[in-house]
Amino acid sequence: MSLQIFTNPSHGLAQVFYSKKIPCRVKLSRVLATPQSSILLQMDESNNNLPKSKKGFGLSEDSRSSLNKLSADSMLRQANTVGIIGGISTDSTLNFVRKLEDWSSKDGKSSLPFVLCSDPILNKELLLYEENSYPSLYHRIKRTPPDQNQIVENLRNKRRSLERCGAKLILMPCHIAHTWYDEVCEGSSVPMLHMGDCIVKELEEAKMKPLEAGNPLRVGVMASSATLSAGFYQEKLQNNGFEAVLPDKATMEHTVIPAIEAMKRDDMEGARNLLRIALQVLLVQAVNVVVLGSDEMRDLLPGDDPLLKKCVDPMDALARSAIKWAESLS
């Protein structure tokens, strides 16, 4: 496993948890607009031989020896430190981090300290799992199905690393990773937020009234086939008195999957129009609001699109819930 640490240059030498049992490559680099109390980890859990460090970045043997002597929890000691496990898309993860920092630093407050752990191998495993849920899109390419046990263990390893780094709350800003939420948080020494719980709580607080009197409030769920098949958004909604409404087979086959096909060939306008149709099909079924459980779909619509006013983003709910958790400590 290779490990890269990126931290604010004003810190000097970063404090890094470094295991003697695992060969590890440690680098220091600059990260712009990162709180001084925050650290970004990039981990590669492949078994490939580690490439040599570029000149000026590698640590000497003496430095490595010093890092070995650091206590496991010596990275961040703040009680409100958040640990973040990166998901399929690096851009989506960083967008989440930017929101977390911007929203937590309003009104002159200090932004939340965080540890971000990103692993390109895990990213590829999650992406492959999601792509396999659309066999029609990738039938020309022979793909080996991802090992779900390996994905779970990889996610657990990230969670454990974040705990050792001093994280007091774990976040997974990735829809598909929540497929294995229960397995990943098993044995965790700190709480771990579920995006489904976060979005349900906000829907309850909104106190919306059903569009059809006498019926439960209906909430649409628009997401990838893999996320819909996992069923965690539907389960969270139904367990809290909401009625979950999903795209039917025809909508998936004629709008959602073609929208994804259009994205793959960079036809963003076509994909955008198809997504609008799919959302409207849900909304005409007396749905109050649609949970948009896909980063790709969310990014398709411009910020001023009227349909977005009818959608809620679990990623945003996760960020707001983490900030509320931190505020509850003060």
Question: Would you state the pLDDT for residue 48?
Answer: 41
Residues 154, 158, 159: CA angle, nearest 5 degrees: 115
Residue 220, SS3 per DSSP: strand
Q: Could you tell me which residue, 276 or 36, shows the higher pLDDT?
A: 276
Determine how many CB atoms are found less than 10 A away from the CB of residue 7.
Answer: 23
Q: 93-108 pLDDT, tens per residue? A: 999 999 999 999 887 7
Whole-number Å distance between alpha carbons of 1 and 19: 10
Q: Tell me how far CA of residue 198 lies from CA of 90, 159, 237, in angstroms.
A: 22, 19, 11
How much is the average pLDDT of 252-258? Answer: 92
| Cross-strand bridge partners of residue 3 | 43
Question: Would you state the pLDDT for residue 109?
Answer: 78
Average pLDDT, the chain: 79
Please report, rounded to a whole number, the percentage of residues in the chain having pLDDT higher than 70: 74
Q: 161-202 pLDDT, tens per residue? A: 999 999 999 999 999 999 999 999 999 999 999 999 999 999
Whole-number Å distance between alpha carbons of 238 and 240: 5
H or E stretch including 311? strand 311-312
Question: Would you state the pLDDT for residue 156?
Answer: 96
Residues 299, 319, 291: CA angle, nearest 5 degrees: 50
Question: Would you state the pLDDT for residue 177?
Answer: 96
Q: What is the rounded end-to-end Cα distance, in angstroms, of the chain? A: 37
**Of 4-13, 71-80, 118-127, 275-284, which gets the smallest average pLDDT?**
4-13
How much is the average pLDDT of 205-218? Answer: 90
Band the pLDDT of 1: cuts 50, 70, 90.
Answer: very low
DSSP secondary structure letter of residue 52? P
Could you tell me the two tokens for 30?
A: 């600059």
H or E stretch including 218? strand 218-223
Question: Would you state the pLDDT for residue 194?
Answer: 98
Could you tell me the two tokens for 66?
A: 């010093």
Residue with tokens 């929890």: 73
Determine how many CB atoms are found less than 10 A away from the CB of residue 43.
Answer: 20
Q: Could you tell me which residue, 247 or 58, shows the higher pLDDT?
A: 247
How much is the average pLDDT of 2-28? Answer: 32
Residue 69 confidence (pLDDT) above 60: no
How much is the average pLDDT of 297-324? Answer: 94
pTM of the model: 0.80
Closest by CA to 279, choosing from 303, 246, 322, is 246
Q: 319-330 pLDDT, tens per residue? A: 999 999 999 987
DSSP secondary structure letter of residue 112? P
Question: Would you state the pLDDT for residue 108?
Answer: 76
Residue 6 confidence (pLDDT) above 60: no
Question: Would you state the pLDDT for residue 132?
Answer: 81
Q: 110-162 pLDDT, tens per residue? A: 888 999 998 899 999 998 898 887 655 544 555 677 899 999 999 999 999 99
Q: Tell me how far CA of residue 187 lies from CA of 194, 200, 253, in angstroms.
A: 16, 25, 40
Question: Would you state the pLDDT for residue 76?
Answer: 62
Give the strand pairing for 82-85 and 2-7: unpaired
Determine how many CB atoms are found less than 10 A away from the CB of residue 42.
Answer: 18
Alpha helices in the chain, H assignment, sequence order:
61-68, 90-104, 120-131, 148-164, 181-185, 195-206, 225-230, 232-239, 249-251, 257-264, 268-283, 295-300, 314-329
Could you tell me the two tokens for 134?
A: 């659309």
Question: Would you state the pLDDT for residue 135?
Answer: 58
CB 292 within 8 A of CB 311: yes
Residues 6+ away with beta carbon under 8 Å from 74: 15, 17, 166
**Of 16-20, 98-102, 265-269, which gets the smallest average pLDDT?**
16-20
